[in-house]
Amino acid sequence: MTSPTLSVSYSECQEAHGECAILAVMKALDPIAFTRSLVEIESTTYSEGAVGDFLAAFLEGRGWAVEKTSVPQPAESKLTGPRWNVYAAKPGVTPVLVFSTHMDTVPPYISFSEDDENIYGRGVCDAKGIIAAQVAAAEQLRDAGYKVGLLFVSGEERDSAGAKVANENPKGSRYLINGEPTDNRLALASKGALRVTLRATGKMGHSAYPELGESAVHKLVEAANRLLVLELPSIEDVGPSTLNIGQIAGGRAPNVIADQAEAQILIRLVGDSSPIRAAVEKAVAGLASAEYTLEIPFVRLRAVEGLPTMIAKFTTDIPWLSNWGEPLLLGPGSIHVAHTPHEKLAKKELLEAVELYVEVVKQLLA
């Protein structure tokens, strides 16, 4: 039987040699093949157990001291399987800098494929390709004597549950490089997020006699229209806050006046949420109630001399990893294809990210 390499898939290697046999024989890390192995393990939020197990075994097989930390399942997941954070460092060494990103992906699962220029599939840029680039960079830096570590978390795509667990047990690092798709540009800021649930109530009745009922759906539609025309805060170097009505549900049937309706709204923050909360409550008063179910604050980030920069209009785990050191935000891939059926990552960009991570760390720790 020939020795497996990372040019084969995770599933092929598992079937032929057992889950961890690949780890013992690998010499040079191929980020593209490693990304394929990660993508082939489905890890939609709340189902990160298998990819966490794989990563932990993989890193142990390459000489890292690894810790797995359990991340609780929320009631809404309706799942009981394990999910993990995975932390790795050189044995006996406290890292000065830690690379971090997330193992979970959004649904639906999309299998891996590739052509000469790109790799495709769920998570190739958000964020399994980033995991591969960070591991490859960390190994180069470790071998060169730099004190670096790795932290891969669960739950970023939903509520940052893994980051919150990790923040309770920091390792003393001075810097944190968080990986998200920034086109290999360093982010100078990252927008926050405010999740709002609107609920309207009414009185059921026959739709032929609207005067006998009170439609919760009509109230909710009016409340939503008022939110869509709100003037939201904006700052010059970042841009405006934005509002998206992502989900609406309610009513019983087309011929029944609705007694209940609900909408899920996400607002991207560029500052303090207090003025927005006040504006939302004023807009929906008398029509619906507003419950704030999640807030992630807006953050500004540092630059590194000589590197191109951008503004991240999306939210990251950075606000929940405050105990892991001064944060930077950097990674390969475009956020414009993340969360879409066409998620992809250029092979050249992935390989460039490895060297970029190495360069940034050497500048920070010079």
Smallest CA-to-CA distance from 44 within 106, 101, 86, 102 is with 106
Give the model confidence (pLDDT) of 332-343 as tens digits.
999 999 999 999
What integer is the mean pLDDT of 29-43? Answer: 97
DSSP letter, residue 89: E
Question: How high is the pLDDT of residue 48?
Answer: 97
Kindly report the CATH number that applies to the domain delimited by 192-296: 3.30.70.360
When pLDDT is averaged across residues 127-148 and rounded to a whole number, the result is 98
User: For residue range 303-320, what is the model confidence (pLDDT) as tens digits?
Assistant: 898 999 999 999 999 999
What average pLDDT does the structure give for the chain? Answer: 93
| Span(s) in the chain for CATH 3.40.630.10 | 10-190+299-364
**DSSP string covering 20-34:** THHHHH--S--HHHH
**Tens digit of each residue's pLDDT (9 = 90 or more) over 235-245:** 999 999 999 99
Under a CB-based contact definition with an 8 Å cutoff, are residues 85 and 162 in contact?
yes
Intervals of CATH 3.30.70.360 along the chain: 192-296
The H-or-E segment that residue 76 falls in is none
When pLDDT is cut at 50, 70 and 90, the band that residue 219 belongs to is: very high
Instruction: Give the mean model confidence (pLDDT) for residues 181-198.
Output: 97
pLDDT over threshold 60, residue 277: yes
Quick: pLDDT tens for 285-304.
999 999 999 999 999 999 89
Q: Per-residue pLDDT averaged across 19-35, rounded? A: 66
Q: What is the pLDDT of residues 65-105, one digit of tens each?
A: 999 999 999 998 999 999 999 999 999 999 999 999 999 99
Amino acid identity, residue 362?
A: K
Q: Tell me if 112 sits within 8 A of 120, measured CB to CB.
A: yes
* pLDDT for res 19: 43
Across 6-14, average pLDDT: 44
Query: H/E element holding 69?
Result: strand 65-70
Instruction: Give the pLDDT confidence score for residue 366 in this predicted structure.
Output: 87
Q: Which CATH architecture has domain 10-190+299-364?
A: 3-Layer(aba) Sandwich (3.40)
More confident residue, 313 or 8: 313
Of all residues in the chain, the percent with pLDDT exceeding 90 is 91
pLDDT at 27: 59
Give the residue numbers marked as catalytic. Answer: 156
